[in-house]
Amino acid sequence: MKSDTTRKYWRSFDERNQTDAYKAEVSREFQDELDVSTPEPEGTSRRGFLGWVGASLAASGLAGCDAIRRPAEKILPYSVAPEEILPGIPQYYASVTQVGGEVVGVLVESHEGRPTKVEGNPLHRGSLGALSALHQSQVLDLYDPQRLRATAANGRALSAAEARALLAEKGAAWAGKRVAFLAEGVPSPQLARLRAAALARFAGAQWFTYESVSDDHQRAATQAVFGEALRPVYGFAGAKTILSLDADFLGGEGPAVAAARQWADTRRVGANKDASALSRLYAVEASFSLTGSNADHRVRASHAQVEAFAIAVAGQLGVSAPAASVVLEDRQVKAAAAVAADLRASGAGALVLAGRKQPPVVHALAAAMNAALGASVRYYPDARRAPDALGDMAAAKALVAALSAGEVDVLVILGGNPAYTFPADAKLADAVKKAGEVVYLADMTNETTAALDAAKAVVVPRAHYLEAWGDLAHIDGQVALQQPLIQPLHAALSELELLAALLGDKDAKGYDLVRGAWKDATGAVGFHKRWRRWLHEGVVDDAHAAFAASPKAPSGLGGLTATAAAAPAADKLDVLFVPSHNLFDGRFANNSWQQEVPDPLTKITWDNAALLSPATAKALGVVERPVDSDFAVDMVEVTLNGATLKTAAWVMPGLADNTVVLTLGYGREFKNYLPYQEGSYNDSTVYGFDVGPLRASAAPFAASGAKVTKVEGSYFIAAVQRYDNSRQHSIEGFENMERPKIVRETTVAGYAENPTFAKPGIIQHGAPMPDKTKFAVLHPEAKSIYGDFDYSQGHQWGMVIDLSTCTGCNACMVACVAENNIPMVGKDQVRRGREMHWIRMDRYFTGDDANPEVVHQPIACQQCETAPCENVCPVAATVHSPEGLNDMVYNRCIGTRYCANNCPLKVRRFNFYNYSKGQDELIHMQRNPNVTVRFRGVMEKCTYCVQRINKGKRNAALNPEVKQQIIDRITPACAQGCPTKAITFGDINNPKSEVAQLKAAALDYVLLSELNLQSRTSFLAKVRNPNPSFPG
Amino acid sequence: MSDTSPHNKESIFPPPFVAGKHDFHSITEAICGVVEKPLNINWILALGVAGTVMAMLFASIGYLFWEGTGIWGLNNPVGWGWAIVNFVFWVGIGHAGTLISAVLFLFRQKWRTAINRFAEAMTIFAVICALVFPGIHVGRVWAAYWMLPIPNQMAMWPNFRSPLLWDVFAVSTYFTVSLLFWYVGLVPDLATLRDRAKSKLAFWGYGLFSLGWRGANRHWQNYERAYMLLAALATPLVLSVHTIVSFDFAVSVLPGWHTTIFPPYFVAGAIFSGFAMVLTLAVPSRKLFGLEDFITIRHIENMNKIILVTGTLVGYAYAMEFFIAWYSGSPYEGFAFINRAFGPYWWAYLAMVSCNVISPQFFWSKKMRTNLTVTFILSIFVNIGMWFERFVITMTLHRDFLPSSWDYYAPTVYDMSTFLGSFGLFFTLFILFLKFLPAVAISEVKGVMPQADPHWEGYAHAHHAVSNAVSNKEAH
| Complex confidence, ipTM | 0.89
Question: Is residue B422 helix, strand or coil?
Answer: helix
User: pLDDT at residue B460 above 60?
Assistant: no
Q: How far is B49 from chain A (nearest CA, A)?
A: 30
Q: Does the distance separating the beta carbons of A868 and B406 come in below 8 Å?
A: no
Interface test with B, best of A742, A903, A908 (most B CBs within 10 A): A903
- Beta strands in A664-787, from DSSP E residues, in sequence order: 668-669, 686-687, 702-716, 718-719, 745-747
Contact A873 B159 (CB under 8 A): yes
Asked if A731 lies within 8 A of B338 by C-beta distance, the reply is yes
Selecting from B147, B252, B344 the residue whose C-beta is nearest the C-beta of A628 gives B344
Of A213, A229, A209, A185, the residue nearest A395 (C-alpha): A209
Interchain pair B80, A729: CB under 8 A: no
Query: In B366-450, which ranges are continuous DSSP H helix?
Result: 366-369, 372-395, 413-436, 442-447
Q: Find the residue in A nearest to B335 (Cα).
A: A737
Chain B positions in Cβ-Cβ contact with residue A739 (cut-off 8 Å) = 331-332, 335
Cβ of A892 within 8 Å of Cβ of B343? The answer is no
Asked whether the beta carbons of residue B159 and residue A871 sit closer than 8 angstroms, the reply is yes
Put simply, the answer to whether A913 touches B67 (Cβ < 8 Å) is yes
Residues of B whose CB is below 8 A from A786? 161
3 state DSSP class of A623: coil
Contact A910 B69 (CB under 8 A): yes
Comparing C-alpha atoms, which of A373, A352, A345 is closest to residue A309?
A352
- Shortest distance, CA B317 to any CA of chain A (angstroms): 23
Give the helix ranges, DSSP H, for A558-636: 592-596, 614-620
| Residue B8, pLDDT above cutoff 50 | no
Contact yes or no for B344 and A871 at CB 8 A: no
Q: How far is A831 from chain B (nearest CA, A)?
A: 9
Chain A partners within 8 Å of B77 (Cβ): 833, 906
Residues of B in Cβ contact (< 8 Å) with A842: 402, 404
CA distance A289 to A358: 14
Three-state SS at A298: strand
Share of chain B above pLDDT 70, in %: 90
The partner residue sitting opposite B79, judged by closest CB among A629, A894, A900, is A900
The overall longest dimension of chain B from CA atoms, in Å, is 79
* Chain A partners within 8 Å of B401 (Cβ): 904-906, 1008
Residue-wise pLDDT tens digits, B254-295:
999 988 899 999 989 988 988 898 888 888 887 876 777 777
- The confidence score (pLDDT) of residue A597 equals 94
Q: Which residues of A touch B328 (CB under 8 A)?
A: 775
| Range in A619-623, B7-11, B388-392 the model is least confident about | B7-11
Interface A-B: count of C-beta contacts within 8 A: 195
For chain A, the domains span 216-381, 573-719
Q: Please, what is the Cα angle at A649 between A643 and A650, to 5 degrees?
A: 140
**CB-CB neighbors (< 8 A) of B331 in chain A:** 737-740, 773
Measured in angstroms, the CA of B155 and the nearest CA of chain A are apart by 12
* Burial of residue B208 (number of CB atoms within 10 Å: 0-12, 13-18, 19+): exposed
Helix-strand-coil percent breakdown of chain B, rounded to 5? 75, 0, 25
| CA angle A641–A646–A652, rounded 5-degree value | 95
State the smallest CA–CA distance between residue A405 and chain B in angstroms.
56
Provide the 10 A C-beta neighbour count for residue A331.
14
A507 backbone dihedrals φ, ψ, rounded to 5° = -100, 5
Of B163, B251, B407, the CB nearest to A722: B407
The dihedral built from the CA positions of residue A1001, A1005, A1011 and A1013, taken in this order, carries a sign that is negative
The predicted pLDDT at position A1 comes to 47
Q: Cβ–Cβ of B80/A897 closer than 8 Å?
A: yes
**Which residues on chain B are in Cβ contact (under 8 Å) with A734?**
335, 338, 342
Query: Which residue spans within A174-268 are E strands per DSSP?
Result: 179-183, 206-209, 230-234, 241-245
Residue A347 CA to residue A357 CA, distance in Å, equals: 26
Which pLDDT belongs to residue A10?
A: 66
Contact B139 A936 (CB under 8 A): yes
H or E element, residue A411:
strand A410-414
Contact B79, B405 (CB under 8 A): no
Which one of A895, A901, A904 has the shortest CB-CB distance to B138? Answer: A895
Class of domain A573-719: mainly beta
CB burial class (10 A; 0-12, 13-18, 19+) of residue B354?
middle
User: Does A724 sit within 8 Å of B140, measured CB to CB?
Assistant: no
Q: Which residues pair with A718 in a beta bridge?
A: A605
Instruction: Find, among B134, B154, B150, the residue nearest to B80 by Cα.
Output: B134
Q: Which strands, in side-by-side order, build the sheet including A297-300?
A: A297-300, A280-285, A241-245, A350-354
The type of residue at A898 is Y
Partner residue opposite B140 with nearest CB, options A742, A900, A938 = A938
Phi first, then psi: give them for residue A412, nearest 5 degrees.
-110, 115
Compute CA distances A2 → A145, A580, A917, B122, whole Å: 11, 30, 9, 48
Per 3-state DSSP, chain A is made up of helix, strand and coil in percentages (nearest 5) of 30, 20, 50
pLDDT value for A273: 85
pLDDT score for A772: 36
List strand residue ranges (DSSP E) for A860-1003, in order.
Answer: 878-880, 886-888, 909-910, 939-940, 983-987
> What is A302-351 written as a DSSP string?
-HHHHHHHHHHHHHHTT---PPPSSPPPHHHHHHHHHHHHHHHHHGGGEE
Burial class (CB in 10 A: 0-12, 13-18, 19+), B372: middle
According to DSSP, residue B355 is labeled: I
pTM listed for this prediction: 0.86
Residue of B nearest to A627 (CA): B344
Query: Which residues in chain B are closer than 8 Å to A733, comparing Cβ atoms?
Result: 342
For chain A, the farthest-separated pair of C-alpha atoms sits apart, in whole angstroms, at 88
- Interchain proximity A737–B251, CB inside 8 Å: no
Query: How many CA atoms does the CB half-sphere of B318 hold within 13 Å?
Result: 25
Phi and psi (nearest 5°) for B217?
Answer: -55, -45
Q: Count Cβ atoms below 10 Å from residue A797 Cβ, excluding itself.
A: 23
Q: What's the pLDDT band for B465 if we cut at 50, 70, 90?
A: very low
Burial class (CB in 10 A: 0-12, 13-18, 19+), A88: exposed
List the single residue in A with minimal CA-CA distance to B75: A833
**Rounded CA separation A479/A383 (Å):** 11
CA distance A163 to A458: 9
- Assign A414 to helix, strand or coil: strand
- pLDDT tens digits for B324-368? 888 877 788 888 888 888 888 889 999 999 999 999 999 999 998
CB contact under 8 A, B141 and A937: yes
**Model pLDDT, residue B457:** 60
Q: For B81-92, what is the mean pLDDT?
A: 92
- Which of A723, A843, A859 is nearest residue B406 as measured by Cβ atoms? A723
Choose among B282, B353, B273: nearest CA to B99.
Answer: B273
Residue of B nearest to A858 (CA): B404
Please tell me the distance in Å from A938's CA to the nearest CA on chain B: 6
Contacts of B76 in chain A (CB under 8 A): 833-835, 900, 906, 908-910
Collect all residues with Cβ–Cβ distance below 8 Å to A201 and sequence separation of at least 6: A171, A503
Instruction: Count CA atoms closer than 13 A to A789's CA, side-chain side.
Output: 18
Give B134 to chain A, closest Cα distance, Å.
Answer: 8
From the first residue on, what is the mean pLDDT of each consecutive set of 10 residues in chain A (1032 residues)?
Answer: 58 72 65 42 58 59 51 61 67 91 92 90 91 93 92 89 91 89 92 91 90 91 89 90 93 91 92 88 93 93 92 90 86 92 91 93 92 89 87 92 91 92 90 90 92 90 93 91 91 92 87 90 88 90 75 78 84 93 92 93 90 90 63 87 91 91 93 81 80 91 91 86 49 55 87 82 39 40 69 88 93 94 91 91 84 90 90 92 90 93 93 90 90 92 94 90 90 94 92 90 85 86 91 78
Task: State the nearest Cα–Cα gap between B251 and chain A, in angstroms.
Answer: 8
Among B72, B253, B327, the strongest candidate for a mutation testing the A interface, having the largest count of A CBs within 10 A, is B253
With an 8 Å Cβ cutoff, are B70 and A896 in contact? Answer: no
| Closest Cα in chain B, distance from residue A760 (Å) | 15
Give the nearest partner residue to A724 out of B161, B397, B404, using CB atoms: B404
Tell me chain A's radius of gyration from C-alpha atoms.
28
Element (H, E) at A578: strand A573-578
Inter-chain CB proximity B158 and A834 less than 8 Å: no
- Of A676, A733, A894, which is closest to B139 when you measure between CB atoms? A894
